[in-house]
Amino acid sequence: KSAELGLDMQFFNSLFGFELTYYNTRTFNQIIPIQVSGATGYTSKYINSGEVKNNGIEIIANVTPIRKKDFVWKLNFNFSKNNNEVVSLFDANTKQIVIATFQSGVSLVAIPGQPFGVLKGRGYVYTNGQKTVNEDGYYMSKTDQIIGNVTPKWFGGAGTSVTYKNFTIGFLVDAKIGGSVYSLDQA
C-alpha cells in the first residue's frame, strides 16, 4: 500500500526546474528465508513475513545556464532520504528474523521497531558516552547488541552535460551518506 504526492515545475522556458516527491509505503507479507534447524534436513524455509513501512522525499533540480543554437550546458542535482522501520514480523512471538550471518558473530537482522537491516553482534559497553574500561584495562563488550544499520541516511548527486551540435558529454557524481558497513576482511 502506498501513497505518493509529487510536484514537477519548470520555469523560464525550462531553464530552471525541480521535482519534489513525498512517499509513504507499507509492505506486507514479504517473502523471506528464515533459518531452521539443520536436523530437519534443510537450513531455511521461506515465509510471508510481517510489515515494513517506508517514507521519504526525493528532490531533483535542473538548471540550464547556457542554451544556444549549437551549444547547451545543463546541470542537475538530486537528493533523497528514506526512513524505514520493521513494524511487525510473521507472528507476535518472533523477536527477530536473521537475514544473513557473517564471521565474528555478526548478523543482519529484521527487528520490530528498528530499520530493516540492522547489524547485531559484539559491541562496546558505554558509560556517559565513553567506552567503559574494566579493572584489567580492557574495553568492556557485550554480545547480541545492535552495532549498526545498513540503510544510508541519504543519497545525493550532481551532474552536468555539455552538448555541441550532435555530440554530448556528461559527468555525474553520486553519494550515499551514512549506513554501516561490516568488513569481512577486517573481522
Does pTM top 0.85 for this prediction? no
Residue 68 neighbours by CB distance under 10 Å: 8
Give residues with Cβ within 8 angstroms of 169, minimum separation 6.
161, 162
Q: What is the pLDDT of residue 184?
A: 79
Give per-residue pLDDT as tens, 22-34.
999 999 988 877 7
C-alpha cell at 146: 545492535
Output the CA angle 108-59-7, nearest 5 degrees. 125
C-alpha cell at 99: 537475514
Give residues with Cβ within 8 angstroms of 36, minimum separation 6.
42, 43, 44, 45
Residue 181 CA, distance from chain mean position: 11
Give per-residue pLDDT as tens, 156-176.
999 999 999 999 999 999 999
Give per-residue pLDDT as tens, 122-169.
889 999 999 999 999 999 999 889 999 999 999 999 999 999 999 999
C-alpha cell at 77: 542535482
CB 46 within 8 A of CB 90: no
Lowest mean pLDDT among 71-85, 95-109, 118-132: 95-109
CB 125 within 8 A of CB 131: yes
Residue 61 has pLDDT above 90, yes or no: yes
